[in-house]
Amino acid sequence: MRQARFGHPLLGLLTILALGCGGEAAPDAGPPDAGAQDAGAPPCEGGFLASWAEAPAMPAAFESHASVAHDGRVYVIGGWNEAGGARTEVYVYDGAWRATSSLPAPLQHHSAAVHAGHVFVFGGDDGFGGQVSSTIYHAPIEADGGLGAWTVAASMEPRSLHAAASLGDRVYLIGGIASFGAGTPEVIDSIVSARIDEAGAIGAIEPAGALPAPLAWHAAAAIDGRVYVVGGLRSFATGQLSGAILAAEVAGDALGAFTEVSQTTPRMRLGALALDGALVIVGGLTAGGPATDVTSARPDAQGQLVDGDFHADLPEGRYGHGVVARNGEALVTGGFYAAMGFDTRDVAWTAPACPR
C-alpha cells in the first residue's frame, strides 16, 4: 500500500521541491501577503483571525481527506495514513469526535460538499498511482448529525487531486488529474458542474469552463458569487508550483473566465476557506517545505483582493490537511508535517474570527 501511494512521480516531485526548484518567483508585495503580524501581539491585534489553539485530536491520523461543515458539525471523510493507505472511515466533530457511516470504498484526494441535507463525495483515488474514481457518493445527514448509509448518486469522468466549490445549488469540480497513467500523471484544466435539487438528487455533470492553465493539488473557495482558486501544482514532470490566486464569476451554469486577482507564495496541497467574507489561505507545501503561514484578504466589488493580513502561524507546518469554517472559526485537521517524510497527524487546531 505504501509503495502504491508513493510511487516515483511523488518522490521525484518532492525531490524537486526540496532542492528549491519547484516554484515561480513570489511577489514582492500585495494582498493577501500585505503585512506581517507581530509575534508578540495579543490574539486579535494582527487581523481578524485569532491565535490557534489545539482542539481534540481526531480518532486517527489522516491526510488527503475531505472535510466539510454543516450546522455546527464538521465531517472528515476518508484520506490516507501510513498505517493503512487510503481509508474508508468518516468522523463527525461537534466539540468531540465520533465515528459515523464509512465510505463504500477507500478514497483519498477526493472532494466533498454539503447540499440539501446530504454530504456528497466526488472522485478521488485509492492510492497514488492507483485507480482514479468516477463515482459520486452521497449520504443523508441524520437528526443526531451522523450520516446514513452512503449510496452512489451519479457517475462522472474520473477526477482526482482536484478542488470543489459550491455556489447556490451547484457544485463545481476544478482541475486535477483524470488518471495516473503509466508514468507521470497529466494535470488537467477542465471544470465540470452539476445542480443538486432540494431532495438531494444530483443532475447531469456538465462542462463548466476551464482554468487558464492545468492545476492539481490546489484549493478553492466561493465568496459573493465568485469562485477563487489558490496555488496548486502545474506539472508533475517539472514540479512547478503556482502562486496565483484566480477568480471567476458565475456565467449561467458555468464559470466565466478566470483572472488573476493576487499572488501568494507558490504552494500546493494547501487549505483555503471563506470565513467572515474573507478568503483565508492556510499552510501548504512550498519549495522551502511545509508552510506555517496563514493569510487572508477580502474581495472588493470587482473581486480583487484587498485588506490583506498575516495571522498567527500554525503551530507546525502542514500540507495535505483539511480546513473548514465552523461556528465562526477556522478548523484545521490532520495532514503531513515533513516534506520528505510520510507520517500523518491526528492533530486539529481552531482559530476564531475576531470581532470587526
* pLDDT, average across residues 151-172: 97
Task: Check whether 102 has a pLDDT greater than 80.
Answer: yes
Q: Is the confidence at residue 203, as pLDDT, over 80?
A: yes
pLDDT at 83: 86
Run of H or E residues at 20 = none
Number of separate domains in the chain? 1
Check: CB of residue 264 under 8 Å from CB of residue 243. Answer: yes
What is the end-to-end Cα distance of the chain in Å, rounded? 48
Please give the pLDDT value at position 22.
Answer: 43
* CA 139/CA 147 separation, integer angstroms: 6
Residue 260: CB atoms within 10 Å: 12
4 three-class SS = helix
Residue 266 is predicted with a pLDDT of: 98
Rounded-to-integer distance, Cα 253 and Cα 54, Å:
40
pLDDT in tens, 32-54: 333 333 344 446 655 678 899 99
CATH number at residue 326: 2.120.10.80
> Measuring CA to CA, which residue among 47, 189, 170 is closest to residue 116?
170
Give SS3 for 303: coil
* 261-276 confidence digits (pLDDT tens): 999 999 999 999 999 9
- What radius of gyration do the chain's Cα atoms show? 18
What integer best gives the mean pLDDT of the chain? 88
Strand 294-299 and strand 305-311: pairing?
antiparallel
Q: Which domain holds residue 198?
A: 2-352
Q: Give the ranges where the chain is alpha helix by DSSP (H).
A: 2-5, 8-18
**pTM listed for this prediction:** 0.90
What pLDDT digit, counting tens, does each position of 290-336 carry?
999 999 999 999 999 987 888 999 999 999 999 999 999 999 999 99
Residue 17's Cα: distance from chain center in Å?
20
- Among residues 105, 83, 89, 102, the alpha carbon closest in space to that of 5 is found at 83
Cis peptide before 32 (omega within 30 of 0): yes
Average pLDDT (247-267) is 96
Q: Which helix (H) or strand (E) holds 110?
A: none
Cell of 23: 516554484
- What would the mean pLDDT of 196-223 be, rounded to a whole number? 97
Q: How far apart are CA 129 and CA 342, in angstroms?
A: 16
Above pLDDT 90, what percent of the chain? Answer: 78
Cis status of the peptide bond prior to 185, with omega within 30 of 0: no
Cβ atoms 119, 112 nearer than 8 A: yes
Region 83-99: what's the mean pLDDT? 96
**Does position 13 have pLDDT exceeding 70, yes or no?**
no
Indicate if the pLDDT at residue 25 is higher than 70.
Answer: no
Residues of the chain with pLDDT > 70, as a percent, come to 87
Cell 482542539 sits on residue: 55
Task: Sort 188 into a burial class: Cβ within 10 Å, 0-12 / 13-18 / 19+.
Answer: buried
Who contacts 165 (Cβ-Cβ below 8 Å, separation ≥6)?
Answer: 171, 172, 174, 220, 221, 222, 227, 228
For residue 91, the model assigns a pLDDT of: 98
Continuous segment of H or E residues that includes residue 3: helix 2-5
Q: Of how many residues is the chain composed? A: 356
Q: What is the pLDDT of residue 43?
A: 62
